[in-house]
Amino acid sequence: MRTLLTVSVLLFATACSHASATRLDSAVEPPGPQAPLSGGWKSSLHREHPLSGRIWDVKAARFVDAEALRGALTQARFVVLGERHDQPDHHRLQAWLVQALATGGRKPALAFEMLDVGQQAAVDAALARAPRDAEALALAVDWADSGWPDWSLYRPVFKAGLKAELPIVAANLPRAQVRDLVMRGPDALAPELRQRLSLDTPLPEAVEQAMRQEQDEAHCGHLPKELLGPMVQAQRARDAHLADRLSSAATDQGGVLITGNGHARTDRGVPARLAARAPDQDVRSVGLLEVDPKQPEPTDYAASFGTQSLPFDYVWFTPAVPMEDPCAALLKRPKK
Protein backbone atom coordinates (compact mmCIF):
# COMPACT_ATOMS: atom_id res chain seq x y z
CA MET A 1 0.00 0.00 0.00
CA ARG A 2 2.88 2.35 0.74
CA THR A 3 4.12 1.81 -2.81
CA LEU A 4 0.74 2.79 -4.22
CA LEU A 5 0.67 5.93 -2.11
CA THR A 6 4.17 6.90 -3.13
CA VAL A 7 3.31 6.55 -6.81
CA SER A 8 0.22 8.68 -6.33
CA VAL A 9 2.09 11.44 -4.56
CA LEU A 10 5.16 11.49 -6.78
CA LEU A 11 3.43 11.31 -10.13
CA PHE A 12 0.48 13.52 -9.15
CA ALA A 13 -1.79 11.08 -10.99
CA THR A 14 -5.09 11.70 -10.16
CA ALA A 15 -4.95 22.64 -19.31
CA CYS A 16 -8.35 39.12 -30.11
CA SER A 17 -8.14 41.13 -32.77
CA HIS A 18 -4.36 40.94 -33.00
CA ALA A 19 -4.52 37.15 -32.97
CA SER A 20 -6.97 36.93 -35.82
CA ALA A 21 -4.68 39.08 -37.94
CA THR A 22 -1.56 37.05 -37.16
CA ARG A 23 -0.61 33.93 -39.09
CA LEU A 24 0.21 31.01 -36.82
CA ASP A 25 2.78 28.29 -37.38
CA SER A 26 1.22 25.58 -39.54
CA ALA A 27 3.07 22.95 -37.53
CA VAL A 28 0.51 23.47 -34.77
CA GLU A 29 -2.50 24.22 -36.93
CA PRO A 30 -5.70 23.61 -34.95
CA PRO A 31 -7.87 20.65 -35.84
CA GLY A 32 -11.53 20.72 -36.60
CA PRO A 33 -14.03 19.32 -39.05
CA GLN A 34 -12.47 21.41 -41.85
CA ALA A 35 -8.94 21.96 -40.46
CA PRO A 36 -7.16 18.78 -39.35
CA LEU A 37 -3.89 18.98 -37.47
CA SER A 38 -0.82 19.18 -39.64
CA GLY A 39 0.09 15.56 -40.25
CA GLY A 40 -3.24 14.37 -38.87
CA TRP A 41 -4.15 13.18 -35.41
CA LYS A 42 -1.55 11.25 -33.43
CA SER A 43 -4.32 9.56 -31.43
CA SER A 44 -5.48 6.36 -33.08
CA LEU A 45 -8.92 5.73 -31.60
CA HIS A 46 -12.29 7.21 -32.61
CA ARG A 47 -11.00 9.74 -35.12
CA GLU A 48 -14.37 9.60 -36.91
CA HIS A 49 -16.36 10.35 -33.76
CA PRO A 50 -18.74 13.29 -34.41
CA LEU A 51 -17.08 15.32 -31.64
CA SER A 52 -13.43 14.75 -32.63
CA GLY A 53 -11.76 18.12 -33.18
CA ARG A 54 -14.82 20.13 -32.13
CA ILE A 55 -14.88 22.83 -29.45
CA TRP A 56 -17.80 23.18 -27.06
CA ASP A 57 -18.61 26.47 -25.35
CA VAL A 58 -20.06 25.15 -22.09
CA LYS A 59 -21.93 28.26 -20.91
CA ALA A 60 -23.34 29.11 -24.34
CA ALA A 61 -24.10 25.42 -25.02
CA ARG A 62 -22.88 25.63 -28.60
CA PHE A 63 -19.94 24.70 -30.78
CA VAL A 64 -17.37 27.34 -31.68
CA ASP A 65 -14.37 27.29 -33.99
CA ALA A 66 -10.71 27.69 -33.07
CA GLU A 67 -10.68 31.38 -33.97
CA ALA A 68 -13.59 32.09 -31.62
CA LEU A 69 -11.85 30.21 -28.82
CA ARG A 70 -8.64 32.11 -29.43
CA GLY A 71 -10.48 35.42 -29.34
CA ALA A 72 -12.19 34.53 -26.07
CA LEU A 73 -9.00 33.37 -24.38
CA THR A 74 -7.01 36.45 -25.36
CA GLN A 75 -9.51 38.55 -23.43
CA ALA A 76 -8.85 36.65 -20.20
CA ARG A 77 -6.32 37.54 -17.54
CA PHE A 78 -5.68 33.88 -16.72
CA VAL A 79 -6.04 30.83 -18.97
CA VAL A 80 -5.91 27.27 -17.63
CA LEU A 81 -5.29 24.57 -20.24
CA GLY A 82 -6.14 21.02 -19.14
CA GLU A 83 -4.88 17.75 -20.54
CA ARG A 84 -4.55 14.03 -20.19
CA HIS A 85 -0.85 13.91 -19.38
CA ASP A 86 0.12 11.18 -21.84
CA GLN A 87 -2.07 12.37 -24.73
CA PRO A 88 0.04 13.69 -27.64
CA ASP A 89 -2.76 15.60 -29.36
CA HIS A 90 -3.60 17.42 -26.13
CA HIS A 91 -0.09 18.83 -26.04
CA ARG A 92 -0.20 19.77 -29.71
CA LEU A 93 -3.41 21.71 -29.10
CA GLN A 94 -1.89 23.35 -26.02
CA ALA A 95 1.08 24.40 -28.14
CA TRP A 96 -1.24 26.00 -30.69
CA LEU A 97 -3.14 27.82 -27.96
CA VAL A 98 0.05 29.05 -26.30
CA GLN A 99 1.22 30.38 -29.64
CA ALA A 100 -2.18 31.97 -30.23
CA LEU A 101 -2.11 33.67 -26.83
CA ALA A 102 1.38 35.06 -27.52
CA THR A 103 0.52 36.88 -30.74
CA GLY A 104 0.40 40.65 -31.18
CA GLY A 105 3.30 41.23 -28.81
CA ARG A 106 1.53 39.57 -25.87
CA LYS A 107 3.82 37.76 -23.41
CA PRO A 108 1.79 36.04 -20.69
CA ALA A 109 3.67 33.94 -18.17
CA LEU A 110 3.61 30.24 -19.05
CA ALA A 111 3.33 28.07 -15.93
CA PHE A 112 3.58 24.30 -15.68
CA GLU A 113 2.19 21.83 -13.17
CA MET A 114 5.01 19.51 -14.28
CA LEU A 115 7.67 21.76 -12.75
CA ASP A 116 7.80 22.45 -9.00
CA VAL A 117 9.01 25.68 -7.44
CA GLY A 118 12.24 24.06 -6.34
CA GLN A 119 13.20 23.80 -10.03
CA GLN A 120 12.70 27.47 -10.86
CA ALA A 121 16.38 28.30 -10.41
CA ALA A 122 17.36 25.52 -12.82
CA VAL A 123 14.77 26.78 -15.32
CA ASP A 124 16.06 30.34 -15.08
CA ALA A 125 19.68 29.27 -15.45
CA ALA A 126 18.91 27.13 -18.51
CA LEU A 127 17.01 29.97 -20.18
CA ALA A 128 19.81 32.43 -19.41
CA ARG A 129 22.30 30.13 -21.17
CA ALA A 130 20.08 29.12 -24.09
CA PRO A 131 16.83 31.13 -24.21
CA ARG A 132 15.16 29.09 -26.97
CA ASP A 133 16.65 25.65 -26.37
CA ALA A 134 13.87 23.33 -25.15
CA GLU A 135 16.26 20.37 -24.96
CA ALA A 136 18.60 22.26 -22.64
CA LEU A 137 15.65 23.07 -20.40
CA ALA A 138 14.61 19.41 -20.27
CA LEU A 139 18.13 18.44 -19.21
CA ALA A 140 18.28 21.20 -16.59
CA VAL A 141 15.14 19.92 -14.82
CA ASP A 142 16.05 16.24 -15.31
CA TRP A 143 12.79 15.57 -17.12
CA ALA A 144 13.86 12.04 -18.07
CA ASP A 145 13.76 10.99 -14.39
CA SER A 146 10.84 13.18 -13.35
CA GLY A 147 8.10 10.55 -13.60
CA TRP A 148 6.15 12.64 -16.09
CA PRO A 149 5.36 11.23 -19.56
CA ASP A 150 8.07 11.32 -22.21
CA TRP A 151 9.58 14.71 -22.99
CA SER A 152 8.64 14.33 -26.66
CA LEU A 153 4.98 14.82 -25.69
CA TYR A 154 5.59 18.10 -23.86
CA ARG A 155 8.27 19.46 -26.19
CA PRO A 156 5.78 21.26 -28.50
CA VAL A 157 4.32 23.24 -25.59
CA PHE A 158 7.70 24.32 -24.26
CA LYS A 159 8.95 25.15 -27.74
CA ALA A 160 5.91 27.36 -28.37
CA GLY A 161 6.55 29.23 -25.13
CA LEU A 162 10.28 29.63 -25.73
CA LYS A 163 9.79 30.75 -29.33
CA ALA A 164 7.51 33.51 -28.07
CA GLU A 165 10.00 34.35 -25.29
CA LEU A 166 7.41 33.79 -22.57
CA PRO A 167 8.48 33.59 -18.92
CA ILE A 168 8.54 29.89 -17.92
CA VAL A 169 7.17 29.35 -14.43
CA ALA A 170 7.60 26.28 -12.23
CA ALA A 171 4.25 26.21 -10.46
CA ASN A 172 3.77 23.04 -8.42
CA LEU A 173 4.47 22.28 -4.78
CA PRO A 174 7.71 20.37 -4.20
CA ARG A 175 7.02 16.67 -4.01
CA ALA A 176 8.58 16.36 -0.57
CA GLN A 177 6.05 18.86 0.78
CA VAL A 178 3.16 17.00 -0.82
CA ARG A 179 4.43 13.74 0.64
CA ASP A 180 4.77 15.31 4.10
CA LEU A 181 1.29 16.77 3.82
CA VAL A 182 -0.19 13.35 3.06
CA MET A 183 1.77 11.49 5.71
CA ARG A 184 1.74 14.07 8.54
CA GLY A 185 -1.17 16.38 7.77
CA PRO A 186 -1.33 20.18 7.35
CA ASP A 187 0.93 20.71 10.38
CA ALA A 188 3.78 19.43 8.21
CA LEU A 189 3.69 22.74 6.32
CA ALA A 190 4.83 26.09 7.65
CA PRO A 191 1.91 28.09 9.15
CA GLU A 192 2.24 30.85 6.53
CA LEU A 193 2.10 28.34 3.68
CA ARG A 194 -0.75 26.42 5.26
CA GLN A 195 -2.76 29.62 5.62
CA ARG A 196 -1.94 30.77 2.11
CA LEU A 197 -3.16 27.45 0.71
CA SER A 198 -6.35 27.69 2.84
CA LEU A 199 -5.80 24.22 4.29
CA ASP A 200 -7.19 25.31 7.65
CA THR A 201 -10.54 26.11 6.02
CA PRO A 202 -12.88 23.08 5.91
CA LEU A 203 -14.42 22.14 2.59
CA PRO A 204 -18.21 22.02 2.21
CA GLU A 205 -19.28 18.50 3.14
CA ALA A 206 -20.60 17.66 -0.34
CA VAL A 207 -17.33 18.74 -1.97
CA GLU A 208 -15.27 16.83 0.58
CA GLN A 209 -17.25 13.65 -0.05
CA ALA A 210 -17.04 14.03 -3.81
CA MET A 211 -13.29 14.50 -3.66
CA ARG A 212 -12.88 11.52 -1.34
CA GLN A 213 -14.83 9.39 -3.77
CA GLU A 214 -12.62 10.55 -6.63
CA GLN A 215 -9.49 9.60 -4.69
CA ASP A 216 -10.98 6.21 -3.85
CA GLU A 217 -11.81 5.54 -7.50
CA ALA A 218 -8.45 6.85 -8.69
CA HIS A 219 -6.76 4.30 -6.44
CA CYS A 220 -9.08 1.48 -7.51
CA GLY A 221 -10.59 1.18 -4.04
CA HIS A 222 -7.23 0.11 -2.56
CA LEU A 223 -6.30 3.30 -0.76
CA PRO A 224 -6.83 2.93 3.02
CA LYS A 225 -9.85 4.95 4.08
CA GLU A 226 -7.79 6.93 6.56
CA LEU A 227 -5.68 8.28 3.69
CA LEU A 228 -8.58 9.59 1.61
CA GLY A 229 -8.75 12.81 3.62
CA PRO A 230 -5.00 13.50 3.38
CA MET A 231 -5.06 12.85 -0.37
CA VAL A 232 -7.90 15.37 -0.72
CA GLN A 233 -5.79 17.84 1.25
CA ALA A 234 -2.91 17.27 -1.14
CA GLN A 235 -5.16 17.92 -4.13
CA ARG A 236 -6.43 21.13 -2.53
CA ALA A 237 -2.89 22.23 -1.74
CA ARG A 238 -1.73 21.73 -5.31
CA ASP A 239 -4.74 23.58 -6.71
CA ALA A 240 -4.09 26.51 -4.39
CA HIS A 241 -0.36 26.56 -5.02
CA LEU A 242 -0.76 26.42 -8.80
CA ALA A 243 -3.20 29.32 -8.60
CA ASP A 244 -0.87 31.26 -6.32
CA ARG A 245 2.13 30.83 -8.60
CA LEU A 246 0.18 31.71 -11.74
CA SER A 247 -1.17 34.84 -10.09
CA SER A 248 2.14 36.00 -8.63
CA ALA A 249 4.14 35.30 -11.81
CA ALA A 250 1.64 36.87 -14.21
CA THR A 251 2.89 39.58 -16.53
CA ASP A 252 0.90 42.57 -17.74
CA GLN A 253 -0.70 40.15 -20.21
CA GLY A 254 -1.59 37.63 -17.52
CA GLY A 255 -0.67 33.97 -17.35
CA VAL A 256 -1.32 30.55 -18.84
CA LEU A 257 -1.18 27.29 -16.88
CA ILE A 258 -0.51 23.85 -18.36
CA THR A 259 -2.05 21.23 -16.07
CA GLY A 260 -4.18 18.13 -15.81
CA ASN A 261 -7.90 18.32 -16.42
CA GLY A 262 -8.58 17.72 -12.73
CA HIS A 263 -6.75 20.92 -11.77
CA ALA A 264 -8.43 22.80 -14.65
CA ARG A 265 -11.95 22.34 -13.23
CA THR A 266 -13.86 25.58 -12.80
CA ASP A 267 -15.91 24.30 -9.88
CA ARG A 268 -13.07 23.55 -7.44
CA GLY A 269 -9.73 23.52 -9.28
CA VAL A 270 -7.25 26.25 -10.11
CA PRO A 271 -9.80 28.50 -11.90
CA ALA A 272 -11.99 28.51 -8.79
CA ARG A 273 -9.03 29.46 -6.62
CA LEU A 274 -8.03 32.24 -9.00
CA ALA A 275 -11.59 33.56 -9.09
CA ALA A 276 -11.73 33.60 -5.29
CA ARG A 277 -8.43 35.52 -5.05
CA ALA A 278 -9.23 38.06 -7.75
CA PRO A 279 -12.97 38.10 -8.54
CA ASP A 280 -12.51 41.05 -10.89
CA GLN A 281 -10.04 39.13 -13.10
CA ASP A 282 -11.32 37.06 -16.02
CA VAL A 283 -10.34 33.39 -15.82
CA ARG A 284 -10.99 30.90 -18.65
CA SER A 285 -10.50 27.16 -18.53
CA VAL A 286 -10.18 24.73 -21.45
CA GLY A 287 -10.63 21.02 -20.85
CA LEU A 288 -9.10 18.67 -23.42
CA LEU A 289 -11.17 15.49 -23.42
CA GLU A 290 -10.99 12.28 -25.39
CA VAL A 291 -14.15 11.16 -27.14
CA ASP A 292 -16.05 8.02 -26.21
CA PRO A 293 -18.15 6.07 -28.76
CA LYS A 294 -20.87 5.71 -26.12
CA GLN A 295 -21.05 9.49 -25.64
CA PRO A 296 -22.01 11.30 -28.84
CA GLU A 297 -23.07 14.61 -27.23
CA PRO A 298 -20.93 17.11 -25.28
CA THR A 299 -23.26 17.02 -22.31
CA ASP A 300 -22.75 13.27 -21.98
CA TYR A 301 -19.27 13.88 -20.55
CA ALA A 302 -20.36 15.81 -17.44
CA ALA A 303 -21.23 12.65 -15.53
CA SER A 304 -17.60 11.52 -15.49
CA PHE A 305 -16.82 14.64 -13.44
CA GLY A 306 -19.74 14.07 -11.08
CA THR A 307 -21.43 17.26 -12.28
CA GLN A 308 -24.51 18.20 -14.26
CA SER A 309 -22.53 20.54 -16.49
CA LEU A 310 -18.97 20.16 -17.73
CA PRO A 311 -16.66 21.95 -15.24
CA PHE A 312 -14.79 23.98 -17.86
CA ASP A 313 -15.49 27.11 -19.88
CA TYR A 314 -14.61 25.30 -23.11
CA VAL A 315 -13.98 21.68 -24.02
CA TRP A 316 -11.88 20.67 -27.03
CA PHE A 317 -12.61 17.06 -27.95
CA THR A 318 -9.94 14.80 -29.42
CA PRO A 319 -9.63 11.21 -30.54
CA ALA A 320 -8.31 8.83 -27.89
CA VAL A 321 -5.13 6.89 -27.30
CA PRO A 322 -5.18 3.32 -25.97
CA MET A 323 -4.80 3.07 -22.21
CA GLU A 324 -4.25 -0.01 -20.10
CA ASP A 325 -6.67 -0.50 -17.24
CA PRO A 326 -4.77 1.08 -14.31
CA CYS A 327 -6.77 -1.01 -11.86
CA ALA A 328 -6.20 -4.41 -13.48
CA ALA A 329 -3.11 -5.34 -11.45
CA LEU A 330 -4.38 -3.82 -8.21
CA LEU A 331 -7.70 -5.60 -8.33
CA LYS A 332 -5.88 -8.90 -8.19
CA ARG A 333 -4.47 -7.96 -4.78
CA PRO A 334 -6.44 -8.19 -1.54
CA LYS A 335 -7.38 -4.86 0.00
CA LYS A 336 -5.41 -3.84 3.08
Per-residue pLDDT, 130: 96
SS (H, E, C) 214-275: HHHHHCCCCCCHHHHHHHHHHHHHHHHHHHHHHHHHCECCEEEEECCCCCCCCCCCHHHHHH
Per-residue pLDDT, 251: 97
Instruction: For residue 115, give the 3-state DSSP assignment.
Output: strand
Residues of the chain below pLDDT 70: 1-38, 329-336
Per-residue pLDDT, 106: 94
112 bridge partner residues: 170, 258
Per-residue pLDDT, 21: 32
Determine the structural domain holding residue 308 and report its residue range: 2-332
In eight-state DSSP terms, residue 295 is: B
Provide the domain count of the chain: 1
Burial 244-267 (b: 16+ CB within 10 A, else e): bbbbebbeebbbbbbbbbbbbbbb
> Which ranges of the chain would DSSP assign to H, the alpha helix?
2-11, 17-20, 66-74, 88-101, 120-129, 134-140, 151-163, 175-184, 191-196, 205-218, 228-249, 270-277
pLDDT, one tens digit per residue, over 263-321 is 999 999 999 999 998 889 999 999 999 999 999 999 999 999 999 999 999 999 999 99
Per-residue pLDDT, 22: 34
The verdict on pTM exceeding 0.85 is yes
Per-residue pLDDT, 200: 81
Q: Report the CATH number at residue 261.
A: 3.40.50.11550
